[in-house]
Structure 1
Amino acid sequence: MTTDTPSRIALRGDLLDFTADPGFAAPAGAPGVRFRPGHWLLVADGRIAGVQADAPDASWQRVDHAGKLLLPGFIDTHVHSPQLDVIASYGTELLEWLNTYTFPAERRFADPEVAVAGAERFLDGLLAHGTTSAVVFPTVHKHSADALFAGAERRGMRIIAGKILMDRHAPDGLRDDVRQAERDCVDLIQRWHGRARLAYALTVRFAPTSTSAQMQMAAALIEAHPGTYMQTHVAENKDEVRWVAELFPEARSYLDVYHRHRLLNERSVLAHGVWLDDTDRVLLRETGAQIAHSPSSNLFLGSGLFDWLGAEGQGAHVSMASDVGGGTSLSMIRTLADAYKIQALRGVKLTAWKALYSATRGAARALHLDDEIGSFDVGRHADVAVWDWAHTPVMQHRVDLAQDLHEKLFAWMTLGDERLLEAAYVAGVPRYHRRP
């Protein structure tokens, strides 16, 4: 795709975004939904300049996507760039999954050429699925983070990432040590954090693979470098929870391990959180940390059914994540459909409004980036995905029968996938377009 864009472009389509959290209200009563069909989205120098019903004057380059659905680019808050190699692998739960599939795949990224090729494939894959921002785990190798950041900078993407920290309970070729890891992180922070649209995340894989000394080092770097993030996993699987209790008997819970090591704050992103209790959820609220809900992965690995309503009821932030390769697709549409199924099993009906909010403005808000991404508000980066309403005759028939916008959008979310994506813009630059 081209790396150049006119300073003033106008995109026409059916614009949908959110001004507030729709919550778990019934579709008809949900607040915050903003739908402007047949409108023009004005983009100046890569940012949203306005929205209008009438065609703009000749000073704007017009791109007509009439009849298409325009959404803010999706934000995936937890995904593993090297795990495209093991997506859709058979027959294991979390801990066996790591040893059988994940660790061998990540060890291959010790080769810098493999790391570069993997980063390029992954970033192009995100864009081809309508995802323009992500919180990403590369591997323990410093050059894997370099490759990811460099590729994201070239594409103008909003990426939060950092080399994985693992100094125990990992195979040869995937362990670091506290001192070397600290030097690597400091160098990566100085090189990439705050550059272009990039941010650094201290990346503790999960408590079992980091010593207390390593987690304390990560906390010190977070405190020394304002604006950095922390990402990790928590309470995904029952066997994992039992293992953490054995390794950290002094901690009240798995989440408390991170709290004791000063790793919970408003920029902490914790994947899964399936097996948290009410005390944990209160701690999330008090620290501002968020759960990156990974429904497809939780279903595929048999990890459990996340209590989204309970988490938000205690004041915790919840965003949406594909968790590839435990998750089975980079498509946030497929991920949202799986989220509906999990909540249905818990007796909760997830609306399309709430689901889409969690992968756009809701995720941006949880990451403290809602002044930059996640909506069509003036001043936001023009990260835009252009979608067909249907891609098969059956789907078209179902969408045509919809009696209102929510019914239409729910059918779109439930039946759709990345094949619906026509184009993706990053800061107003076209970065993906479907081949004829």
Structure 2
Amino acid sequence: MQNTSTVQAYRAGLLTFHADPAFSERAHSYYEDGLLIVADGKISAIGDWSTLHASLPPDVAVTDYRGKIISAGFIDAHIHYPQSDIIGSPAPGLLPWLEQYTFPAERKFEDPAHATNVAEFFLDELLRVGTTTALVYCTVHPQSVDAFFTASEARGLRMIAGKVLMDRNCPDFLCDTAERGVLESEALIQRWHGHERSLYAITPRFAPTSSEAQMQLTGELARRYPDTFIQTHVSENEDEVKWVKTLYPQARSYLDVYDRYGMLRPRAVFGHCIWLDEGDRRRIAETQSAAAVCPTSNLFLGSGLFDFERADAAGMLMALATDVGGGTSFSMLQTMNEAYKVARLKGSYLPALRMFYLATLGAARSLHLEGTIGSLAAGNEADFVVLDPACTPLLARRTAHTDSLEEMLFALALLGDDRTVAATYSGGRLVHRRG
């Protein structure tokens, strides 16, 4: 680990975003031969090497990443750390997959030692693929949250996580009560939210596993702590949508269930958002809530295809997410690969710049953390990833023939994986180096 009390400098191609490339022609800056200066864990300056290097103190050594691209660290807006051990498990759909694999795996997290072991692996894997912040589901066990934040704080990471709330339609060994779940969540908020770089997410798993009493208490908790996050699932699978209708017949839609309990607000992130209608999309936009788009999971479980065009038309905030273990890769590059294909199947097109935006600044905006993470802007926390366009023979050959930044990034998104990440930095510290 590098000492963050001194100035550090990095020379490389530098990519950073200021706006959404879908709506602005000046959404990004790219310095082909750039200099990134970091001081005390935050970004101090960014610019062209030719003009900025003279400002460096004479005793500052420059880490030379020429030939590589530095971007803000990737942000994964929806992921389950307890499902690390069941990634790639076969099932005919979402609900059978939950019953056969997910719930038995989560039962093991009553053991703090097991929770710690998985959290350590999970975080190492995130850093290996260049993800520096994630919105993370734990289990119903408070000790699963304690294990996660203990491990993430030991690495100095900006992480968001929370205890799952479930009090019905789940196995007895995971079934909470409405009152106990919220009391334990409040104690965890007081212990972890805003402690070092940790942030707390109030986490009802999804409407079918929460009674009306639990939903009511969860909404009240969210109102007491308005700067916390809310994370849950909505409209992932058609069978799930039909099930919610039988459980909450008074609600206009699946999303409306959450709306009735005051859970649509800034810092509320809804996983999947596939089977929404126009009223739902409008409400997400109006409330400054956000959608976490999970293409590898949706394809793997056969849940459906996210509609980027309609989400954009409604003005929704959205971010890319892996949804491990329903998702089949921790890598945000591989997630971009599948997002591109989902968009094509829905008749729209995602440029590479847009995909990188949705995994960095777009995600930070969805989390209402712009100005803290998500770009290489001066004053932001120095979370960044070093990408190697020549990490494999195929990528090296392809990127040697690219004619634009868009083409280069597209090759990284469609052909890249964990090998593309040469190094990952969090708070100005080197937390992963390939090999």
**Equivalent pair of 1:160/1:200 in contact (CA under 8 Å):** yes
1:26-425 map, 5 Å: 30-52=25-47, 53-54=49-50, 55=53, 56-425=56-425
Structure 2 letter corresponding to 1:9: Q
What's the % identity of the aligned pairs?
A: 48
Aligned length: 430
Question: In structure 2, how many angstroms separate the alpha carbons of the residues matched to 1:35 and 1:3?
Answer: 26
**Equivalent pair of 2:2/2:428 in contact (CA under 8 Å):** no
Question: In structure 1, how many angstroms separate the alpha carbons of the residues matched to 2:6 and 2:103?
Answer: 45
Question: In structure 2, how many angstroms separate the alpha carbons of the residues matched to 1:58 and 1:404?
Answer: 34
- After superposition, the C-alpha distances for 1:116-148 in whole angstroms (9 at most, x for unaligned) are 111111111111110000100011100001111
Question: In structure 2, how many angstroms separate the alpha carbons of the residues matched to 1:186 and 1:349?
Answer: 42
CA deviation after TM superposition for structure 1 residue 316, in Å: 1.1
- After superposition, the C-alpha distances for 1:413-432 in whole angstroms (9 at most, x for unaligned) are 10011111111110101111
Structure 2 letter corresponding to 1:429: R
CA deviation after TM superposition for structure 1 residue 172, in Å: 2.0
Matched with 1:23 is 22
- After superposition, the C-alpha distances for 1:192-220 in whole angstroms (9 at most, x for unaligned) are 01111111111000000001111111111
- After superposition, the C-alpha distances for 1:289-325 in whole angstroms (9 at most, x for unaligned) are 1100001101111100110110121121111100000
**Equivalent pair of 1:24/1:354 in contact (CA under 8 Å):** no
- After superposition, the C-alpha distances for 1:356-382 in whole angstroms (9 at most, x for unaligned) are 000100110111101100111100000
CA deviation after TM superposition for structure 1 residue 343, in Å: 0.3
Question: In structure 1, how many angstroms separate the alpha carbons of the residues matched to 2:61 and 2:201?
Answer: 38
5+ residue gaps, structure 1: none
**Equivalent pair of 2:392/2:419 in contact (CA under 8 Å):** no
Matched with 2:4 is 5
- After superposition, the C-alpha distances for 1:26-52 in whole angstroms (9 at most, x for unaligned) are xxxx43121001211000000000024
Question: In structure 2, how many angstroms separate the alpha carbons of the residues matched to 1:95 and 1:368?
Answer: 31
**Equivalent pair of 1:24/1:350 in contact (CA under 8 Å):** no
TM (normalized to structure 1)?
0.96
**Equivalent pair of 2:13/2:70 in contact (CA under 8 Å):** yes
Structure 2 letter corresponding to 1:151: A
**Equivalent pair of 1:6/1:61 in contact (CA under 8 Å):** no
SS at match of 1:34: strand
Question: In structure 1, how many angstroms separate the alpha carbons of the residues matched to 2:300 and 2:247?
Answer: 27
Structure 1 letter corresponding to 2:391: H
**Equivalent pair of 2:308/2:348 in contact (CA under 8 Å):** no
Question: In structure 2, how many angstroms separate the alpha carbons of the residues matched to 1:319 and 1:10?
Answer: 29
SS at match of 2:200: strand
SS at match of 2:172: coil
- After superposition, the C-alpha distances for 1:301-357 in whole angstroms (9 at most, x for unaligned) are 110011011012112111110000011011000001100000000111100011100
**Equivalent pair of 2:4/2:39 in contact (CA under 8 Å):** no
Choose 130-139 or 154-163, whichever is displaced more: 154-163
5+ residue gaps, structure 2: none
CA deviation after TM superposition for structure 1 residue 100, in Å: 0.7
TM (normalized to structure 2)?
0.97
Question: In structure 1, how many angstroms separate the alpha carbons of the residues matched to 2:23 and 2:330?
Answer: 25
CA deviation after TM superposition for structure 1 residue 62, in Å: 1.8
CA deviation after TM superposition for structure 1 residue 61, in Å: 3.2
SS at match of 1:126: helix
